Each structure stands twice: as C-alpha cells, then as structure tokens.
Amino acid sequence: MIENILFDLGGVLLNIDMQKTIRAFTSLGWKEDDWKSNLHGQHQLFENLETGASTESQFRKNLRKALPGSPSDQEIDDAWNAMLIDFLPGIAGFLTELKSSFHLYLLSNTNAIHLKRFREIFFLEYGFRLDDLFEKTYYSHELGFRKPDPLSYLKVMKDATIFPRNTLFVDDLPANTEAAEKLGMKVLQIVPGTLMQVLPSFLETER
C-alpha cells in the first residue's frame, strides 16, 4: 500500500531546458571546445555545487576561470538559472488534491542558486511557497548527496521516518528510479510533462 510519494523536481514538476543554460554561457564566451576539453572538470564543478561541497561564491569563482572577461555574479546566476522554465500548469492544485490521500515529499538534485530561483518562479505563479505543498523537502546541496547515490534516499527515509515498501518514488531519469527500486521503493519513471496524466492511473493500479 502506497502511503508516501517522493517526487523529483526538474522534469517532473518543473519544466527545464538545459540548452538554454548552455546558450546563456556561450553568450558569455564559453566555447564548446573549451567545455569538451575539460568535460570531467566541468561536471565536477556542477556536482560540487549540488552536493554542497562548494559554496555559491566558489562556484562563480571557478566558472570565471572558464569565461573570458569577468562576468558579474548576476550574469553567472542568470545564465545558470536559464534552464529553469516554469512549473506544470495546474501542478499546485494537483498536488494539493494528492495531499488528502498521501504524504508528499520532494527530493531534488539542486543547488542554492537554483533553489532561490525556482522558489521565486513558483511563488510568482501560485502565490504561496513551493515547500508548503510537501511534508518536507530535501535538496541535494543540503543533504550532501545526489541521486542516484543510495545515501540520498536513505537519509530521506530516516529523516522522514518512512519505509521504502510504502513509498512511491517518481523521477524522469532511469538511473534514479533504478537506485530507488533497489532500496525497496515502488517507482514510476515518467516522460517530462506527463506527470498529471500518468500518476493517477498508476496509483489506481496499485490499490
């Protein structure tokens, strides 16, 4: 019996477009060849931000090393946030209705810069806080671990005092749902933009 639903954010509740961020950094002078020549280093730069291993200021400082000139903090943040588009239309009402039957939680691979921006986007769209839709929200830079690291899920389970067998995890990436399934959770991998179409029928089959 599903009692809890643990949601991913980007690609599930929030529409994202990574190409917008790539184009934004390109406009600041980040050449594609420079990116490809140090692919591991760039991934590590973003991963450190998303696990809390580096601060916002350290992230901006390291990014400036890859960019010509000296872009401002705001220019870097705007480029980094460009991928955050909007929330699914009607998602607040959809989750509010789910709350009458399930305990809702959020687990997102994110960072302090994105957190400020998507909270702002949600508030501007709906007039109340995103976090108010959930019993508790969990963000990777605060947890210290990113999905699909099993420790990210285990820390959530322990803190929320919920059990995998009673929990449904919803994500758009197979690596994340596979990791959750190995820990005993029920999982639903969705195509971005389809949550409100597929989740109700999935829950109906699980009754």
Indicate if the pLDDT at residue 86 is higher than 50.
yes
Indicate if the pLDDT at residue 123 is higher than 70.
yes
pLDDT at site 82: 96
CB atoms near residue 21 (< 10 Å): 17
- Strands 103-108 and 4-7 come out as parallel
**What number is the average pLDDT over the span 177-206?**
96
**Residue 111 DSSP symbol:** -
pLDDT digits (tens, 9 = 90+) for 149-176: 999 999 999 999 999 999 999 999 999 9
Find the helix packing angle between 174-182 and 150-160, rounded to 10°: 60
- What mean pLDDT, rounded, does the chain reach? 93
Cis, peptide link before residue 192, omega less than 30° from 0 = no
* pTM of the predicted model as reported, rounded to 2 decimal places: 0.94
Name the maximum alpha-carbon separation found in the chain. 58
Domains in the chain (CATH in brackets) are: 4-15+88-205 (3.40.50.1000), 18-81 (1.10.150.240)
Alpha-carbon gap, residue 59 to 53, rounded angstroms: 10
- Strands (E) in the chain, as ranges, are 4-7, 14-16, 84-87, 103-108, 136-139, 167-171, 186-189
What are the DSSP calls for 52-108, one per residue?
Answer: TSS-HHHHHHHHHTTSSS---HHHHHHHHHTTEEEEPTTHHHHHHHHTTTSEEEEEE
pLDDT at site 41: 46
